[in-house]
Structure 1
Amino acid sequence: MTGVSEGMRAAPATPLRPYLGPYEGYRLVGYGPGLHLGTPAPEVTVVLSLDAPVVITTTSHPDQSEGSWGALASGLATTAVTIAHDGNQHGIQLALTPAGSRALLGVPSAALGAWIVDLGDVLGSDTTELVDRIAAEPLWPRRFAILDEILLRRASGGESSIDPHLQRAWHLLTGPDAPRVTDVAHDVGWSRRHLITRFTAEYGIGPKDAMRVARFDRSKRLQRRSPGMTLAAVAAHCGFADQSHLAREWRSLAGVPPSTWRADEQFPLVQDAEDLQRASSRA
């Protein structure tokens, strides 16, 4: 069955950009029913469904059962979730930085952990306004303008900032040339044990796992951008020791090797550079 994909990818208003990546609006229609793999990423995920609720059949937290959510938030995790769909998906996805979790959701990412929570649990009454106004607006630019309005209002309320030492550690560990945890601890002037304790308390995952998830996510994004690239080349480009190391990390973090993900992933990602450039100019 051949499906149809449309949507828009747009940068948020300039003051929000330290807190989240581009808005990802998507509408996928006419695909075959099945399962979609939601893989680990170094961001807090927020999803607003504009149609049927999102059905999660396998969650990242071992104590959380399957469920469905019309609007959800989820913290950092080291395992994938499984999303059941009928071949149609319509919504907006946001990727919040750890600073964005504090500024926009009002909690550190560790407070969410690997749990999936109803967005209303962290946004309160703003969730109802956000969902109702976006659902009533048919055009992506107007939907994104509503997001800007409500998120800017939340950000202006002030944030409990992340310790600069932890910000520095996050930047180093999730970058493309991540050093050893011991070297990061030395860089920020803490013991290794103190770094691990404080880092995990803020972000919900430890320094080594943050490095692994960020590297995994880079490899996933690279494969989306360059589907013809060999796995050996992906491994070398993203900092894995070799292709076998890449495959082991994919099995650990996604539950499948990258070759299987490539074959099974049927939903395209809405990443129209022209749309992004057009939408960015409005901010």
Structure 2
Amino acid sequence: MVVDEYVQGRPAAALAPFVAHYSGYRQAGVAPTRHLGLPSPWLTMILTLNDPLVMESHPDPRQSPGRYDALLGGLHLRPAVIVHDGWQSGVQVALRPLGCRALFGLPAGELAGLDVDAADVLGRRSVAEVREKIAAAEGWAARFTMVDEWLAGHLSDGASGRMTYAWDLVLKGVPIRTVADRVGWSGHHLTDRFRAETGLRPKEAARVARFDRARRALRPGRAIAAVAAEHGFADQSHLVREFRALAGCSPSEWLAGQFDFVQAQPIGEAHDEGHD
């Protein structure tokens, strides 16, 4: 029997300022795969249900490959490589960088470019308990609710309102000088605060956000030049260069090797097909 599920859900309203979305995945009996973990505007937390997450390489090449029951990854500018032998399952949490302080008690800047064992940040017992609960839950909606409840129990004070406002403006593509003027900071202070709080400079955050929007707009059969124009790249060559820099491959190569894996479905539409 082959199982291939990948669904997406939203966090509870109280967590929306800190969590962008949840993704649930379960694959059994599928072909072994190498998956790229690409730069994005979100930190990544993965809570596995069964087999460990196998990291073939990290965004920081100085980190050794490893296996994780629960992983927390900071913002980064290089791809990670995840491998599995045809069997994997878990819940992936896309965390807003300014939610890192509120949920985990530390700025996202301390995790920049790193993948760490989530138990080292949140406690081994706490992580073990939530993994046990989501593994026993029936269905993805119930699992996402379990993660909601667990994260809500960790909430404390987050980043300042001005930092949150600055982050939102940068992700919307507002020029960096305009962002500094609107929040009342000098350009140097804005850069220093961004690096400390998120791990990226403002221009790097804007670059990653634009890349992420373009990557999500790519579809088989859609002209890459059209995606480039729609998302503010000078031309198709500019988008291809950014893909090679941030993903380690071209848009066409990513579509050929990764597109099917990352097309999440809303809860209730997971694909689960059995074969003899």
Name the TM-score, length of structure 1 as normaliser. 0.88
Cα distance, 1:179–1:270 mapped onto 2, change above 3 Å: closer
Residues 112-121 or 25-34, more deviating: 25-34
* Structure 2 residue 134 is the aligned partner of structure 1 residue 137: no
Instruction: Provide Cα deviations, 1:54-111, integer angstroms capped at 9, x if missing partner.
Output: 1111111232111111101011001100111112321110001123211222221111
Alignment of 1:201 with 2:196, yes or no, is yes
In the other structure, the counterpart of 1:280 is none
Aligned: 1:163 with 2:160: yes
Deviation at 1:236, TM superposition (A): 1.2
> How far apart are the structure 2 equivalents of 1:12 and 1:167?
19
Identity of aligned residues (%): 43
Matches within 5 A, 1:86-165: 86-124=85-123, 125-155=125-155, 158-159=156-157, 161-165=158-162
- For 1:145, give the aligned amino acid: T
Q: Does structure 1 retain, via aligned residues, the 8 Å contact 2:54–2:67?
A: yes
Question: 1:151 and 1:214, CA in 2 relative to 1: closer, same or farther beyond 3 A?
Answer: same
What's the offset of the Cα at 1:138?
Answer: 3.7
How large is the Cα RMSD of the aligned pairs?
1.9
Matched, 1:173 2:159: no
Change (3 A) 1:265 1:16: same
Residues 234-243 or 182-191, more deviating? 182-191
Structure 2: any 5+ residue segments left out of the alignment? 270-276
Contact 2:33 2:86 in 1 (8 A): yes
Alpha-carbon shift at residue 4 of structure 1 (Å): 4.3
How far off its partner does 1:3 sit? 6.2
User: Normalising to structure 2: TM-score of the pair?
Assistant: 0.90
Q: CA deviation at 1:267?
A: 4.6
| Corresponding residue number in structure 2 for 1:230 | 223
**2:272 corresponding residue in structure 1:** none
Aligned to 2:75: 76
Indicate if the aligned counterparts of 1:60 and 1:80 stay in contact, CA closer than 8 A.
Answer: yes
Structure 2 residue corresponding to 1:260, chosen from 224, 247, 253 = 253
Secondary structure, in 3 states, of the residue corresponding to 1:21?
Answer: strand
Aligned residues: 268
Structure 1: 5+ residue runs without aligned partners?
277-283
Within-5 A mapping of 1:216-227? 216-223=211-218, 226-227=219-220
Distance 1:238 1:275, change over 3 A: farther
Paired residue type of 1:170: W
Report if the CA contact (8 A) 2:9-2:267 is conserved: no
Instruction: Indicate if the aligned counterparts of 1:28 and 1:267 stay in contact, CA closer than 8 A.
Output: no
